[in-house]
Chains A and B, each alone.
Chain A
């Protein structure tokens, strides 16, 4: 495809003291895809996401998102670009003193202070419904929600500004298999309906097989490979082989094929 990638990362280097987490990392995310990012613990998946969304200033490298260079931009300037993406943090990171509805309204109020409260409530209402939360979830506080519902509420907040780009940090971690599968389906659905590009960090092999268009593998401080799972399986990288061909990887793959046959 000749289209410009939505995220372009070149030569990204992140280090904490003497520890180098990333060293010359390159990665492209194409528009309209779900890119899964995998890697062992401590390979810097979360650091990579934090670098892209600007919570962490890299020691070197270029990051371009939606055609704009993000390194060294001042906050006021970056704000208008930031509004074009939504982020779901690992545990939802909902504001604990606000209700779910107020949580969803926070980004809208911040960027569009002229929207009147009744319309705000309606917008929050359909976002909450889109995220698959029950009708009475709006006035509840995060502490009253289960883990899965908190993730859905976090997703509703991430979708508040109709982003083009969605970052998800281990969305299915800590969910039961049924809840995780439902969440996968929800992400897939939303991506198709709202034409989202999704950057997805995960450990969940089922998620990778079920919804990811491409998978990027983080290892040795770099992205060692990017491609569909079939393309990755053809590679002779020991970690990739062990990851996808280990007992869990085979089970997830078998599960997917069974699902295909059934449908």
Chain B
């Protein structure tokens, strides 16, 4: 096995140098220990390479930096080793390895500033995108031949039909949960029968639509962002533009239309599933038969509640598809960006949906649909 001997007492030469004799392999495998050996010897230093059998660039680098920083003398280098040493010395340019660091207070401030600018830009960008979509729709209305019915119908299937299972299951369970929680709380006042009011009004007016919107944002909004983002990276969208097809007309509008049209249908279906879940719960737990449940629902849920739920739905669908397509079109550069933008699309659309929901709640109360 190779070894390093370094004994300044025995082996100091006539000039009084410390000698580092390296024997065997001077390679990356022993880089750490060789470096320690060289560092442990005091100046002036001589490195003896006579015993080195194999040397790679890392080994040569260790010798080179000793020569560079400590003016070490190198003896016993064969021509090949000298060549390698020269080559490493050749590649010794001042290179920067790490980004410059700034102190943490100014960095935090800079990040806050960046974030604010970014948020502002996103908002302005989203408004601009909304404008582009409205312009595109205007063009399609003027020349209906450019409307892509096939693309829209395809999205119906993806956004609507394929979501039926998961949305049905989710809202059914929500109905059960409202019924169960309501029954427990109202039992304290002996008012279990009002559980039906709770189920009916909550489901129809608020929760069915909101839950459907959240599910559509997670399923379809993210899919839109990922699809468009991938097409952006593979330059499909650029190719489309050069051929003269507007990506807004061909890709964005069909998706937005599909989501806008499917959302009220899905929301209505979700309301029914939620009522079904609640109905089954009150039947099993409170012993209220389905006929009575349906009759009570008709009495306690005003028709305006249904309108409130159904009017919100297309607006939510529009916003979700808009945010998804907008984020997808923002993708640039690498595949990591697709993931980031997809996440941003979901977060942004759910946030916007909830903000709008609050606005709607105030609005409908003001016009007297209580």
Contact = CB atoms under 8 A, between A and B. Distances in A.
Interface string A114-126: 1110010111111
A161 interface: yes
B93 A129 contact: yes
B31 interface: yes
A125 B95 contact: yes
A175 to B, nearest CB: 19
A162 B333 contact: no
A115 B31 contact: yes
A193 B89 CA distance: 13
A240 interface: no
A112 B32 contact: yes
Contacts of A136: 95-96
B94 A135 contact: yes
Contacts of A125: 92-93, 95, 97
Interface string B31-48: 110010000000000000
A124 B93 CA distance: 12
B122 interface: no
B91 A126 contact: yes
B84 A193 contact: yes
Contact of A193 (B35, B87, B95): B87
Contacts of B230: none
B336 A101 contact: no
A198 to B, nearest CB: 17
Contacts of A143: 333-334
Interface residues of B, number: 28
Interface stretch (B54-62, B136-144, B170-178, B179-187): B54-62
Given A123-B61, A193-B84, A135 B31 contact: no
Contacts of B88: 126
Q: Interface of chain A, helix or strand or loop or mixed?
A: helix
Interface residues of A, number: 32
B27 interface: yes
Contacts of B61: 122-123, 126
Interface string B202-244: 0000000000000000000000000000000000000000000
A189 B12 CA distance: 39
Contacts of A101: 97-98
B95 A128 contact: yes
A194 interface: yes
B339 to A, nearest CB: 11
Interface in A129-157: 129-130, 135-139, 142-143
Contacts of A115: 28, 31-32
B154 interface: no
The 5 A-B residue pairs with the shortest CB-CB distance in the complex, in nearest-first order:
A162-B56, A129-B91, A125-B95, A114-B32, A139-B99
Interface of B: 27-29, 31-32, 35, 56-58, 61, 65, 83-84, 87-88, 91-99, 333-336
23 contacts: A108-B28, A111-B28, A112-B28, A114-B32, A115-B31, A116-B32, A121-B97, A122-B65, A123-B58, A126-B61, A127-B57, A129-B95, A130-B57, A135-B96, A136-B96, A137-B95, A138-B96, A138-B98, A139-B96, A139-B98, A161-B28, A162-B27, A194-B57
